[in-house]
């Protein structure tokens, strides 16, 4: 099991963040329910930078300063979903 969702980078310890499910109904080891369910990504066309902005804005809505929110999302590029893909930067 990963400690962080390997798509959005949110920790599973975060309150309310559930694991997604595989197509057979078993919990996904790597992805949260916001990103992944039924064995598929819920937003398959999402690009890595869009994900980073989405997560950053959710931190900002919680009152994080912009720089801290940005720093907290830099690791998203290294998560399993985005690693080694040819996902465009923009």
Q: Which of 4, 19, 28, 32: binder of Zn ion (CB under 5 A)? A: 32
CB-based burial label for 85 (10 Å; 0-12, 13-18, 19+)? exposed
Binding part of the chain for Zn ion, among 27-35, 43-51, 53-61, 74-82 by CB under 5 A, reads 27-35
- Structure token pair of residue 32: 């949260």
Say if residues 31 and 46 touch (Cβ distance below 8 Å).
Answer: no
Q: Which of 4, 19, 28, 35: binder of Zn ion (CB under 5 A)? A: 35
Enumerate residues 59-88 that contact Zn ion by CB under 5 A.
none
- Structure token pair of residue 56: 């950053």
- Structure token pair of residue 25: 């109904």
5 lies in the site for Zn ion, by CB under 5 A: yes
55 lies in the site for Zn ion, by CB under 5 A: no
Q: Which residue has the tokens 């099991």?
A: 1
Tell the smallest beta-carbon distance from residue 81 to Zn ion (Å). 9
What does the binding site for Zn ion look like in residue numbers (CB under 5 A)?
A: 5, 7-8, 32, 35
């Amino acid at each position: 099991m990963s400690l962080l969702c390997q798509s959005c980078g949110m920790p599973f310890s975060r309150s309310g963040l559930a694991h997604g499910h595989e197509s057979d109904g078993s919990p996904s080891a790597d992805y949260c329910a916001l990103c992944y369910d039924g064995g598929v990504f819920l937003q398959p066309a999402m690009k890595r930078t869009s994900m980073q902005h989405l997560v950053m804005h959710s931190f900002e809505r919680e009152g994080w300063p912009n720089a801290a929110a940005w720093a907290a999302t830099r690791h998203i590029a290294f998560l399993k979903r985005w690693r080694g893909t040819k996902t465009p930067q923009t």
